[in-house]
Amino acid sequence: MIARMLDGVPGRGLAVLAGLLAVLLAAPWVANDYVLTVLIIVLYSAYTGQAWNVMMGFAGQLSLGHAIYVGLGGYAAAALYVHFGVAPWLGLVAAVAIAAACGAVIGFLAFRFGVGGVYFAILTIAFAEFARIGFDHFRWVGASSGFFLPVANYTRNDLWNLRGDPTMFYYVMLALTVAAFAICHVLLKSRIGYYWQAIREDEVAARSLGIDTFRYKMYAIVLSAGMTAVAGVFFAFYYNNLFPEQVFHISRSIEMILGPIIGGIGTLFGPLVGALLLTGLSEAMQELLTALRLDVPGAKQVFYGLCLLVVVMALPGGVWPWVAGKLGLTGPRS
Amino acid sequence: MAAEIYLNVAVSGLLTGLVYGLMAVGLSVIFGVVRVVNFAHGEMMTIAMYLAIVLFNGFGLDPLIMVVPLAAVLFALGYAMQAGIINPFITRPEHSQFILLVAMALIIANVLLIVFGPDARSVQTPYSFDSFLVGPLIIDATKAYAGAATVVITAALFGFFRFAPLGKAIRACADNYTGALVVGLNVKRLYALTFGLGAACVGAAGSMLVLLVDVTPALGPALTLLAFIIVITGGLGSMPGAVLGGVLIGLTEAMAGLFFTPSAKSMFSFALLVLVLLFRPQGILGKRPS
Amino acid sequence: MIPTTTNSSGLTRRGFAVGAGAAGLLATAAGDFARAQGGPLKVGVLLPRSGAQAGIGQDCQRGVELAPAIFKELGLPELAIMNADTETNVEVARARAEKLISDGAQLLVGAFDSGQTTAIAQVAEQKGIPFVINIAAAPQITEQGYKFVFRNFPTAAMILSDAFANQKELFEATGVAPKSVVFMHVNDTFGTSMQQGINAVLPRFSMPYQIVEQIAYDPTARDLSVEVAKAKATGAQALLLVSRLNDAILITRELVKQRWSPMAVLSMGPGWYEDQYLKTLGKLSDGPMSFVPWYDPHKRLSKQLEAALAKAYPGINMNTNHVFTFEALLVAADAYKRARSSDPKALADAIRTTNITDNVSIGPGIQFNDKGQNDKLKNAAIQNRGGKLLTIAPKEASNAKPELPMSAYDRRG
């Protein structure tokens, strides 16, 4: 298994990977809670970006409504915890099942009826918005007045109930990110990964080669939805409150996909690199503005937008393929 | 009594729908030809709305008179955007175009926030609060003007694409990109013209919309989303489709608001959108993509 | 690098001279005091100043800007304000709270919205840094057993109870009361909390009216013609509302266009008294009554704050946002003075024993119960008249008589 995972990774890449992991593992000893909080956001974006990448980067299906899976996952686990005292790790199973089922429904409808490209993207937005308004009226989970998880005291870390300090959440998120990375690596190297890439490059050709494109696209959406739901569970227990306007909103879907596209769509490192760059950029800009005594609400977002614009214009394939090329690390795929 | 309210709500929904159609038609023009989904559509409209407000407050220029000048200003902006920034992205994948336009939307919204502040702005014209009494019907005057403008503008656009030589050339580009290149059309210029034309529709719509809706810097995404629903329902790329889509969505929301809880009324438009996507993905009046 | 310095230095220069002698004395006292304690207290202020709630966040910020000069006159210790923008986003709110604490903030204030406030509250609790909430009405926040979280703002249930009590007072005083109302509310965090509360609270007051219909509408609505048509068709005599600014303006326009003048517009939330509402609608903004957390116009400090606001921001009426953001900082400064230390635990202990009677909001003053909630707060009824906001109930805080029924929209020239 391990051997298979490492298969095809060049030596220098392996060294970089090991170094990165060591740094991330050691981070809580050197970083203060603020840096840790930012790192949690980085890992969270890297994880969700990776999950989204399965669908878009690997199988070529553009989803602009991934917030629906975060929301369903978060609400499912939180509702089970609050109403029935079900621990989040058990709730996670239900959360993943619900989100995956929802993904399956969306995928089935879209792929059966031949909805593709921009139309598929709009369809995913429509479902996410539908869910947002639906949850705004869903009394059992607080409707639009929000759903609050009880906040236990923080004197000790309770991993089973996901109650604890940022360090615990950091390691949970790190474990999830590493797991997602490993899963995606294995998938890309397996038959299913090659089928996905064939579909992404040319669906008609893939079908004529005898690939059951419907089935493999369904695998992609179900897996991506399930993985995203895990992030939703984390979100619910980390922030301890859920508002439909926050979790289902289209802006959350957009945030989620900026990382992998900027980082390098379809690559394993893309989502991680994108998350690191974008979150780092955002925080650095905040620091800079504060240092310049420029307290102008909106200025940060303008610069952020300009940076996005420049990157997407200069590096159409994303940052990681370019960096990897420069460093002579040919990534696992590109 | 009962019949009256149904009639009133239906008329109101119809007029709102026409305004929606006007708001969406620019998106449709651009997509129909350039094949780029303008995710900065709503933000461009907020630019037009703020311009209308500045002109009204500063110079007392009525937004109704400013429809044409504002359309011209937005035409220039759209032309420049396409020629300067978007054109290299025509052949890039959708997600790349998406990020480009989302970044532009982010910049526009926050520059507006810095310049105009967060508070909602509006114009108060002498006719802002007028309504016509027609028997049992109460008709909102501003909406009626805006509805009439929708019909005029879309008819003009329709005529332009059908009969004017330039319009025909643009349609040729849309139908067959390589073919257009082969026969020697300047595709880059035609695309920029089309983007400008779409932006001009946005300018005209923004100028009308400011009479009905208060503008804030954060209004953009909601307008973009609404425009999407409308043009996809009606048929992306079809001018009459945008109007029909607007009217359908307007009526659906009005009736849903009347029969169910109004806070959930946009659920019905999303449901309508999903149904259209599944059973007629090209939209009600759209052409099947070949 | 470190954003500790301060709005205060820039703003104290504005100077609000009241009695020069007394102020001079107080200033000296404050100066000695600050030295004794080792400098100003570092207060992190978190507000949504960009994104969807930018308007309200920036309005709250005005309350922050006014505080330093007034505190100086009151002889309260100086605060070093560290501003942070939550961008109307829970994740950013949490990260910014962590950042402020790592930059040395000794106390946090914020954050208007219930979701962002909950996220910040967790950070504060975990770090043992006192957090004084300026505005956020979700009852859950003070039901979590937090030890470092304090709220000087009423919960939804408190707002409702006072609203009904004040309405009854007004109906009795004028001898006019609607027999039926339509309840329209915005379907967002605050609106839904209020709607859920109303069914529990209303039966305790025998109100003269019945709610004939409840209409919930979309917070991002751009058109409320159907909603108003539906309300009008019920034939109710008055409107009972929980709204925001944008929808308040939309509803008023529709009332005029659809030619419906209710006997009264009774609002139990923001919107109808806000400056933007008055400015946008001019003469048509007169008449609605708002039942909201407010300032007591008779209190000394209210007058001082109002004068300072008028000077710094001419043409802006003082409102809930300024008052409660200012009072949150007041709590901080007062606790710092009594604690004689910037140690967070000592500060929290001092806040727990807060008893400020020289304050701005209505009621006996600022005190916190064992949940960290100021449950002594009272709300007012205010009415828009001639572009001004007059307090019409409760009697002890009022400065004008109510006008009921309100004048019809079509008879205002």
**Residue A262, token pair as written in the block:** 């900027």
Q: Concatenate the DSSP letters of all residues of A313-326 into one string.
A: HH-TT-HHHHHHHH
B84, B28, B22: which is closest to B233 by C-alpha? Answer: B28
- Where do the domains of chain B lie? 2-279
Predicted pLDDT at C222: 85
Q: Chain B within 8 Å of A40 (Cβ-Cβ)?
A: no
User: Under CATH, what is the fold of the domain B2-279?
Assistant: ABC transporter involved in vitamin B12 uptake, BtuC (1.10.3470)
Residue A245 with chain C: CB contacts under 8 Å: 188-189
Select from 3.90.650.10, 1.10.40.30, 3.40.50.2300, 1.25.40.10 the CATH code of C157-294+380-411: 3.40.50.2300
C68, C86, C75, C83: which is closest to C326 by C-alpha? Answer: C68
Predicted pLDDT at A5: 55
Neighbours of C45 (CB within 10 A): 29
Contact C106, C132 (CB under 8 A): no
Interface test with B, best of A63, A68, A119, A250 (most B CBs within 10 A): A119
Closest residue in chain B to residue A297, using alpha carbons only: B114
Burial of A90 (0-12, 13-18, 19+ CB in 10 A): middle
Contact B199, B38 (CB under 8 A): no
Interface touch A34/C145, C-beta < 8 Å: no
Q: Chain C within 8 Å of B94 (Cβ-Cβ)?
A: no
Q: Tell me, what's the ipTM?
A: 0.90
For tokens 């979150």, the residue is A279
Neighbours of A219 (CB within 10 A): 18
Angle, alpha carbons A245-A248-A252 (nearest 5°):
95
Global pTM reads 0.90
Who among C85, C98, C189 is closest to A146 (CB)? C189
Contact C37, C77 (CB under 8 A): yes
Query: Would the pLDDT of A146 be above 60?
Result: yes
Who among C94, C191, C218 is closest to A239 (CB)? C94
Closest residue in chain A to residue C82, using alpha carbons only: A290
| Top-confidence residue, A117 or C1 | A117
Residue A145 with chain C: CB contacts under 8 Å: 138, 189-190, 192-193, 196
Q: Give yes or no on whether C8-154+297-378 and C157-294+380-411 have one common fold.
A: yes
- Could you read off the pLDDT of C202-257 as tens digits, one per residue? 999 989 999 999 999 998 888 899 999 999 999 999 999 999 988 999 999 999 99
Compute φ and ψ for C151, nearest 5 degrees: -130, 120
C391, C372, C386: which is closest to C302 by C-alpha? Answer: C391
CA terminus-to-terminus distance, chain B:
51
Who among A62, A115, A309 is closest to B281 (CB)? A115
Contact A123, B277 (CB under 8 A): yes
Q: What is the mean pLDDT of residues A163-172?
A: 89
What is the distance between the alpha carbons of residues C413 and C270, in angstroms, rounded to a whole number? 27
Q: What is the mean pLDDT of residues C377-405?
A: 91
Contact A173, A44 (CB under 8 A): yes
Coil vs helix vs strand at B137: strand
The CATH superfamily label for domain C8-154+297-378 reads Response regulator (3.40.50.2300)
Amino acid at C57: G
B236, B283, B235: which is closest to B34 by C-alpha? Answer: B236
Q: B261's torsion region: left (phi>0), alpha (psi -120 to 50) or beta?
A: beta
What is the distance between the alpha carbons of residues C68 and C7, in angstroms, rounded to a whole number? 8
Contact C89, A212 (CB under 8 A): no
Predicted pLDDT at C5: 34
- Where do the domains of chain C lie? 8-154+297-378, 157-294+380-411
**Residue C121, token pair as written in the block:** 């509250």
Residue C61 with chain B: CB contacts under 8 Å: none
Residue C226 with chain B: CB contacts under 8 Å: 9, 12-13, 253-254, 257-258, 262, 265
Q: Chain C within 8 Å of A301 (Cβ-Cβ)?
A: yes
Q: Chain A within 8 Å of B3 (Cβ-Cβ)?
A: no
Interface test with A, best of B31, B94, B102 (most A CBs within 10 A): B102
Who among C83, C189, C196 is closest to A243 (CB)? C189
Query: Would the pLDDT of C33 be above 80?
Result: no
Chain A to chain C Cβ contacts (< 8 Å)? 103
DSSP state of A138: -
pLDDT band with cut points at 50, 70 and 90 for residue B178: confident
Q: Concatenate the DSSP letters of all residues of B176-188 into one string.
A: -HHHHHHTT--HH
Who among B100, B271, B273 is closest to A309 (CB)? B100
Interface test with A, best of B31, B219, B270, B288 (most A CBs within 10 A): B270
Contact A228, A73 (CB under 8 A): yes
Query: Would the pLDDT of C25 be above 50?
Result: no
Q: What is the mean pLDDT of residues B91-115?
A: 93
What is the distance between the alpha carbons of residues A246 and A4, in angstroms, rounded to a whole number? 40
Residues 6+ apart with CB under 8 A from C367: C354, C355, C356, C374, C376
Q: Chain B within 8 Å of A131 (Cβ-Cβ)?
A: no
- Could you read off the pLDDT of B19-71 as tens digits, one per residue? 889 889 999 989 888 888 899 999 999 999 999 999 999 999 999 889 999 99
Interface touch B214/C226, C-beta < 8 Å: no
Coil vs helix vs strand at C91: helix
Coil vs helix vs strand at C215: strand
Query: Would the pLDDT of C9 be above 50?
Result: no
In this predicted structure, which of A121-125, C111-115, C140-144 has the lowest mean pLDDT?
C140-144
Give strand pairing partners of C391: C382
pLDDT band with cut points at 50, 70 and 90 for residue C139: confident
